[in-house]
Amino acid sequence: MRDEADGNDCVIALDVGGTSMKGALLGRDLKALLTVRRATPRREGPDAVIAEISAVLRDLNRKATTRELTVRGAGVVVPGIVDEETRTAVYSANLGWRDLPLAALLEGASGLLVALGHDVRAGGVAECRLGAARGAQNVLFVPIGTGISAAVFCDGRPVRAHGYAGELGHVVVEPGGEPCACGARGCLETVASAAAVAVAYSARSGRQVEGAAAVAAMLAQGDPDARVVWDRAVEALATALATTTTLLAPEVVVLGGGLAEAGGLLLEPLRASLARKLTFQRRPDLVLAALGDMAGCLGAGLAAWHAAGSPQRLPETPSAATS
């Protein structure tokens, strides 16, 4: 049973990605009372995406009402460049918006108090509060998927810089290398993202693969082409992390996303390569993310509770929300 002191309070949490949205009703203990998943209609344009986000918020609000739950607010996290202070979605190539007063638009459409955040920073907050970096003050959270980004935490505080901080994927690791969508060449994303690993393997071997998981599987079987591609990606990641470690001295680097699902195949050589590149610097612990694909949603919930001015009752041990 729910604690009587908490009544039936909850918040709506929504993590908006380029292909799908993950939403939940979260209690004060950040446990999911209800979860939903919807497609993100980005091919239909930014207006369609905003309309779908609004529709999901209204739908979750209705479902809360039918369960006799009181919604105290909503947290919505999105990709791209997000300025939490001005509550603006500054830029998103995937979703097609620029300088969008997204929080205000969603509040008008849903009637809810909306806390707007960045998906990766929100996931990093969740890993710091609930997951693999719990208790650490200086943390780098790096999800490696179709792209690469990072959430930076120094002395217990997120580094935002009006939304521009954390673009680890656009640190140049191979000067003059492959062109990047950002306009530069040799960015980390062109070498070590899950998408880049798959493309590089297909080009080298002549065999098409759908993703980095397939390359990891071939690596485990001793495929020499997979070894070359994987080693290049690991070296690029270690180079970027060595630079970041020198500048920010994280205690913990939390790796998430599709590439991190390779587990030891990634962690062991990455630890060794990073150690070779560091001399006097503090050597961070490299660990795998604990919250899976619910990290962003949990981070959105934390932001919603904070905006509502209500404390959460955090669990003693980290656990991902479930349906």
User: What pLDDT score was predicted for residue 6?
Assistant: 58
In a domain, 64, yes or no: yes
Does one domain contain both 215 and 298?
no
- pLDDT per residue as tens, the chain (323 positions): 444 445 689 999 999 988 889 999 999 999 999 999 999 998 999 999 999 999 999 999 999 999 999 999 999 999 989 999 999 999 887 788 999 999 999 999 999 999 999 999 999 999 999 999 999 999 999 999 888 999 999 999 999 998 889 999 999 999 999 999 888 999 999 999 999 999 999 999 999 998 899 999 999 999 999 999 999 999 999 999 999 999 999 999 999 988 898 999 999 999 999 999 999 999 999 999 999 889 999 999 999 999 998 766 665 544 443 33
Q: How many domains does the chain have?
A: 2
Within 10 A of 118 (CB to CB), how many other CB atoms are there? Answer: 28
Residues 112 and 32 in one domain: yes
> Is 145 in the same domain as 106?
no
Do 163 and 264 belong together in one domain? yes
pLDDT (0 to 100) of residue 2: 45
Any domain includes 312: no
Residues 272 and 153 in one domain: yes
Let me know if residue 136 belongs to a domain. yes
Look up the domain containing 227 and give its range: 132-288
The per-residue pLDDT for 317 is 44
Determine the pLDDT at residue 323.
37
**Residue 284 and residue 178 share a domain:** yes
Q: Is residue 169 part of a domain?
A: yes
Q: Are residues 282 and 302 in the same domain?
A: no
Residue with tokens 């604690």, as numbered in its chain: 3
Q: What CATH number did the domain enclosing 77 receive? A: 3.30.420.40
Q: Are residues 154 and 251 in the same domain?
A: yes
Q: Are residues 36 and 170 in the same domain?
A: no
For the sheet with 9-16, list strands across it.
32-39, 20-26, 9-16, 70-78, 114-118
Do 112 and 136 share a domain, yes or no? no
Q: How many CA atoms lie less than 13 Å away from 11 in the CB half-sphere?
A: 29
pLDDT for the residue 312: 65
**Which phi and psi (to 5°) does residue 224 adopt?**
-70, -35
Report the candidate in 253, 88, 259, 237 with the shortest Cα–Cα distance to residue 160.
88
